[in-house]
Amino acid sequence: MNPVIALVGRPNVGKSTLFNRLTRSRDALVADYSGLTRDRHYGNGELGSKPFTVIDTGGISGDEQGIDAVMAEQSLLAIDEADIVFFMVDARAGLMPADEAIANHLRMNQKKTWLVVNKSDGMQEEIATSDFWTLGLGDPIAIAAEHGRNVSQLIEHVLEPYPEQEDLLHPELDNDQGIRIGVVGRPNVGKSTLVNRMLGEERVVVFDQAGTTRDAIEIPFERRGKPYVLVDTAGIRRRKNVTEAAEKFSIIKTLDAIKQCNVAIVVLDARTGLVEQDLHLLDYVLSTGRALVLAVNKWDGLESDAKEKMRSELKRRLGFADYADMHFISALHGTGVGDLYPSITRAFKSATARWSTNRLTTLLQDAVGEHQPPLVRGRRIKLRMAHQGGSNPPIIVVHGNQVDALPDAYKRFLINTFRKVLKVRGTPIRFEFRAND
């Protein structure tokens, strides 16, 4: 499990600037609770072979009301989820009353806290930090998020107690117990109900204590003699009401489950339709390259025109994930749940398939024969050889010359051709182009 760093502080101290510097924002996942201008943002970063997760929050101003109060609430949730807190203050503004209010809160909290003085560019460190010793949160550390001053030193220092991870997660290497299935989705879409269905009711009691820890929980099970591991985020429990479900929803667990699984089942709710958070989640699954099965839940009791409308909306808006099978299910009644398995198996097989260099190169040459890459500055782009560079997701490495000039349309043609011929379904497929000239 990656260490999780929460960035907290007044608005405008530079939290999002630091967040962007620390994370590849492509992976950012947003916990958006409707109506908020700024929610919790989650992103992954890496220092050498140490991965970490960063949570950015809207900020705490010290005297919250209305929307500000909700933003402050988001910061408190982020602190709860984190292992490490970066309390950020502004060297240029100096110590503000709101900083003291936040410091009071953090002192009561047991989380490891670092006092980070931002915007110290053009200032001597002692001068930048001098105001902040009185906060009583240890030595203030001067950085400049915008310019990168001291940022990697800070991270290095903070991550010192955490071990290196030589192999940054290759779950395909660890399938001895069977395909690892992650069930993810926003609160209340029916994850727990689905998980209970998949495991069979009698298992529920055994795992009733689950959901108390931050990590996603792994549950091995068998179906028709075949082993699987369910990576559960919902926590199998009987809940009283909807609010509790929303409170228990943890983005960190969700990120964890996605990383730990071979195949992610993203659960959507046919009653509410697609919302932003569904799309963020799908985006995240896509960026991690996990195999994907879509389960549109609560399909029971819908009128037929509502079904039709939902089908076409999903088709229109989820075009970017059209490589994934989509199932219309009722976790409550069990309808369609069994049909998920063939899709899971197929996605897993596609994601972990191995193809020889010979086969891939022949396929590449056939594709090029059918449709030549364009000329660039009078020279034809040449694609000579292809080999497999990884799996789950499959990575195809193509060697040639002038590959930097290869148009996107041609790359799409290659991806589609390879996908069709290799019968890859349910997983993204990635191409890397290497120049030999």
Annotated binding site for GTP: 9-16, 56-60, 118-121, 185-192, 232-236, 297-300
CB closer to ligand GDP out of 187 and 400 = 187
CB closer to ligand GDP out of 297 and 343 = 297
119 near ligand GDP, judged by CB under 6 A: yes
> x-or-dash pattern for ligand GDP, window 138-167, by CB under 6 A?
------xxxx--------------------
CB burial class (10 A; 0-12, 13-18, 19+) of residue 108?
Answer: exposed
Q: Which residue numbers belong to the known binding site?
A: 9-16, 56-60, 118-121, 185-192, 232-236, 297-300
d(CA 406, CA 386): 15
d(CA 224, CA 166): 36
Taking the CA atoms of the chain, what radius of gyration do you get in angstroms?
A: 24
Q: Which of 191, 259, 290, 399 binds ligand GDP (CB under 6 A)?
A: 191
Are the CB atoms for 312 and 233 separated by under 8 Å?
Answer: no
411 membership: H or E segment, kind and range: helix 408-421
Instruction: Give the side-chain half-sphere CA count within 13 A for 384.
Output: 8
d(CA 204, CA 195): 9
15 near ligand GDP, judged by CB under 6 A: yes
40 near ligand GDP, judged by CB under 6 A: no
d(CA 298, CA 328): 8
11 near ligand GDP, judged by CB under 6 A: yes
CB closer to ligand GDP out of 171 and 187 = 187
Q: Which of 74, 75, 113, 192 binds ligand GDP (CB under 6 A)?
A: 192
Q: Can you tell me which residue has the tokens 């960063």?
A: 54
Residue 15, token pair as written in the block: 């939290």
Q: Which of 2, 5, 16, 394 binds ligand GDP (CB under 6 A)?
A: 16
CB closer to ligand GDP out of 224 and 238 = 238
Q: Which of 121, 125, 283, 325 binds ligand GDP (CB under 6 A)?
A: 121
The stretch among 117-125, 132-140, 304-312, 363-371 that binds ligand GDP (CB under 6 A) is 117-125
CB closer to ligand GDP out of 234 and 282 = 234
DSSP state, 203? H
CB closer to ligand GDP out of 191 and 280 = 191
280 near ligand GDP, judged by CB under 6 A: no
Q: Can you tell me which residue has the tokens 């002192």?
A: 107
193 near ligand GDP, judged by CB under 6 A: yes
13 near ligand GDP, judged by CB under 6 A: yes
14 near ligand GDP, judged by CB under 6 A: yes
234 near ligand GDP, judged by CB under 6 A: yes
188 near ligand GDP, judged by CB under 6 A: yes
How would DSSP label each residue in 106-151?
HHHS-SEEEEEEE--TTS-HHHHHGGGGGG-SS--EE-BTTTTBTH
Instruction: Give the side-chain half-sphere CA count within 13 A for 239.
Output: 21
DSSP state, 278? H
Query: Taking CB under 6 A as the criterion, which residues in 319-338 touch ligand GDP?
Result: 330-332
Are the CB atoms for 55 and 41 separated by under 8 Å?
Answer: yes
User: If binding means CB under 6 A, how many residues of this protein chain bind ligand GDP?
Assistant: 32
Min dist. Cβ of residue 181 to ligand GDP (A): 15
Query: Which residue type occupies 267?
Result: V
Residue 351, classed as helix, strand or coil, is helix
Q: Are strands 217-223 and 226-232 parallel, antiparallel or unpaired?
A: antiparallel
128 near ligand GDP, judged by CB under 6 A: no
Where does this chain bind ligand GDP (CB under 6 A)? 11-17, 59, 118-119, 121, 144-147, 185, 187-193, 234, 239, 245, 297-298, 300, 330-332
